[in-house]
Amino acid sequence: MTQPAIDKMLKKHALVAHETCPDVPVRLHAHRFRYARASHWLEDGMNIVQISFLLGHEQLQTTMVYLDITTEQERAALARLKDECDKEIKPKWKGKNDTLASFCGILPMKG
């Protein structure tokens, strides 16, 4: 089957499906399925490099156009960012005598 034949068939069936469900795009094309599949793989937690490999892309940038960040993913990312900002980070050099010299292992000179 040729690409134009597939496109013609998809558009024909999309028109019929659109009458039942307006969410079905009237101008459906095969590339839309690749786009949807890539987005679903991302939502399922698949790595972008794996998705790129499965789609047969040589460049990772090519895959990036397929991927949308969903509202849920955006909310989760912002929540993680907020959690990171709320953490109290203690300086690593705080110790017995609370000096940076102590952290670096520089011992005080005995006099």
Whole-angstrom Cα Rg for the chain = 27
For the chain, give the percent of residues with pLDDT over 70: 67
Residues 6+ apart with CB under 8 A from 26: 11, 14, 15, 18
Closest among 81, 67, 74 to 35, alpha carbons compared: 67
**How far does CA 96 lie from the centroid of its chain?**
43
Structure tokens that stand for 56 in this block: 């047969």
| Cα 73 to Cα 45: distance, rounded to the nearest angstrom | 10
- Over residues 77-95, the pLDDT tens digits come to 777 776 666 666 666 655 5
* pLDDT value at residue 102: 65
Q: Which two tokens stand for residue 111?
A: 């006099």
For the residues 16-28, what does the mean pLDDT come to? 88
Of 108, 110, 81, the closest CA to residue 96 belongs to 108
Tokens of 72: 């849920």
